[in-house]
Structure formats: structure tokens, C-alpha cells
Homo-oligomer: A and B are copies of this chain.
């Protein structure tokens, strides 16, 4: 038995509290990681509160994990004790289907195994996330963390980072492209940093004039207040790409109006029905709207390496594990700049 401390919840209404969970033994391809930091993603709240209707309890959230390797299975090749590593949203997949063979494990046809609320392929039991003292993960799903970065601020890269890096990377954003990032939260602040680092002319597109200054500090060249019709008109049909990070139902038509001919807006935030899209918003200009979900493991490593090279980290507010319920409430009010990270020492 491998019993460890974690923070989780027994049902959708209860606060998170300290519980004891069981981890599997270290298998031959496994890496055992002592968790140093874990980011608090909005998905953690949706899962804990069963907003998506698929929660299994007890549920231990956390898929933005940074830690230190403390043991490795005897067939592990790429990791050794004391390595600093990361774990994101996935801990396993079939590795044989077409998406997996194309390094798109997030779209595994058999279903990728979520870091929490998933089903462990070895034990058949539920997976538990990073709000815990350690985690045991197959090495294929463990990432190398560039050691020049501030580790606590690396944690959110494992979900918020790859979620925004992947579409910018996949749609080949390059120097000189005019890129808009809609929404300035956990995802949006990373989107701004990545677009800027890729050399794009980066615009923050927000409803809140109060966010302008911070957006510029993060790397935006300019800010468009989307409620201001004159500003929106001035940028009509001019964007090469828009990354839409708004996490809730909203009207995407005004943003489609900002795209150039043949340009794309990628949705990464709102996993819910949007306001009605007008067919003409797409037809006039052969415009496109697409979605993107985190990124595969190979691309996640590329993202971390890119961050190491460009010295990109998340803007974080550190908390102790006992403050997680307060943090959840503040996230739902969008009251964090821009990501809470739990210092997991506080659970030990």
C-alpha cells in the first residue's frame, strides 16, 4: 500500500480537505515525483463541483504539476532521481491509435487518461491529481522542466501554457503577424506572452479598460476595448489570427469581424454553447473558427523548451494548501493575477 496525503473532496458540494489516497506502486516505466508546486486551473473547480457531470469521488484536482523525481522504474530511460519534471493534464493514452501516433494524445481514440478523475490503465482505479504530496506517472507523460525558470511559476505552463502555446504554434504564428488575444485571465496572460515571444504584433482584446496597463506589461503592443465600436471598426478585417480565451458563453461575431480573409480564430476557453454565430461572419472573407485542446506531450515539451529559451513563466500568486477553498472562490470571481499555485510543502 502506497498511502499518501492529498487534498480532495467527497462530493460536489463539499469544500476540499485533507484526505488519504492510494498511489500505485512504481512500475518499470514509471517515474515517482515528489510534488513541489501545483497550479490551480479553472477546470479543477469545474471537476470538483461536478459542473461537467462526470466527476467521481473522492476527487483530487491538480494538473499543473512541478516536482522532483524521487524514484524511477527499472526501464525508465529519460529521467533520474533529482530531475525537475512536470506533469500536465494527461498521464496515459493508448499510444497506438492514429492521433497518438501523430503526437496528439489529447485526442486519443481510446480516451486519454486524465491526471485526475481518469481511470488508471494499470490498476483500473481512479486517478488522483497534483493536490497531493507525490504522483507516479509513466515516463512518456513526464516533461523535462528547464532549470533556469522559477519553478513555482512553471506549474501553470503545464495546462494554461500548452493550451495557449499549441494553437499559436500549430497555426505557425511568426514575426510580424497581427495576433489578438481575447480575454485576460490565466489563459490570456500566457497567450499574450507567447504571441509576443513569437514576434507577433500582439493585441489584447478585452471588455475591461482597466486591464490595458497590465496587458502591456505582459507583452501586448496595444489594447483594443471590444465594447468600443470605433476601436473595433478601426481594426476590422486586419488580424492574421485571434486566440479566444474567454471561458464562458459569449458572442464571437464581433471578433470574427476583426479577422483578415482566410484568417482563423481559435477557441480554447469556452467549452459550452456560444451565442449564435452568424453564417455571414464566416462567409464574408472565407474566415475560420477552430478549437484547440491543450497539446500533445511532444508539443508540451517544445513549449517548456520555448519557455526556457525565452524565459517565459506564468504570473502567479502562491498559496498554502489550506487556502485552496478561498482560492477556488477567488478564481470563479476572476480575482487572481493570473494563476494560483499551491506550495505543496504546506501539505507535508
Within 8 A of B (CB), among A88-143: 99, 102, 104, 107, 109
Question: 30 A-B residue contacts at CB 8 Å?
Answer: A99-B261, A107-B261, A170-B286, A249-B276, A267-B279, A268-B283, A270-B279, A271-B278, A271-B279, A272-B278, A272-B280, A273-B279, A274-B279, A275-B276, A277-B277, A279-B291, A280-B291, A281-B291, A282-B289, A282-B290, A282-B291, A283-B293, A284-B291, A285-B291, A286-B291, A286-B293, A287-B290, A288-B288, A288-B289, A289-B290
When distances are taken between beta carbons in the complex, the residues of chain B under 8 Å from A277 are 273-274, 277
Q: A292 at the A/B interface (Cβ < 8 Å)? A: yes
One of B237, B273, B279, B283 near A278 (C-beta < 8 A)? B273
Contact partners of A279 in chain B: CB under 8 A: 267, 269-274, 291
Contact of A107 among B268, B286, B288 (CB under 8 A): B286
- The 8 A-B pairs at the shortest CB distance, nearest first, are namely A282-B291, A283-B291, A273-B276, A270-B279, A288-B290, A271-B280, A273-B278, A271-B279
How many residues of A are in contact with the other chain, CB < 8 A?
37
Please report the C-alpha to C-alpha distance between residue A279 and residue B250 in the assembled complex, in whole angstroms.
10
* Contact A267 B288, CB 8 Å, known A107-B261, A276-B276: no
Dominant SS among interface residues on chain A: loop
Instruction: Give Cα distance in the complex from A269 to B283, angstroms.
Output: 9
Give the chain B neighbours of A273 by CB distance below 8 A. Answer: 276-279
CB of A89, distance to nearest CB on chain B (Å): 13
In A233-284, which residues have CB < 8 Å from any B CB? 237, 249, 261, 264, 267-284
Decide: A271 and B291 in contact? CB cutoff 8 A: no
Known contacts A272-B280, A273-B278; 18 additional CB pairs below 8 A are A99-B261, A107-B284, A107-B285, A170-B286, A267-B282, A267-B283, A268-B283, A271-B280, A271-B283, A272-B279, A274-B276, A279-B291, A280-B291, A281-B291, A282-B289, A283-B292, A286-B290, A286-B293
Q: How far is the CA of A129 from the CA of B26 in the complex (A)?
A: 76
Closest to A99 in B: B261
Q: Which residue of B lies closest to A272 (CB)?
A: B279
Q: Which residue of chain B is the closest to A291 with respect to CB atoms?
A: B282
Distance between Cα atoms of A249 and B280 in the complex (Å) = 11
Bound: A104/B284 CA distance, A: 11
Closest residue of B by beta carbon distance from A283: B291
Interface residues of A in 280-323 (CB under 8 A from B): 280-293
A109: B residues at CB distance < 8 A: 237
Bound-state CA distance A68–B104 (Å) is 55
Q: Nearest chain B CB to A101's CB is how many angstroms away?
A: 12
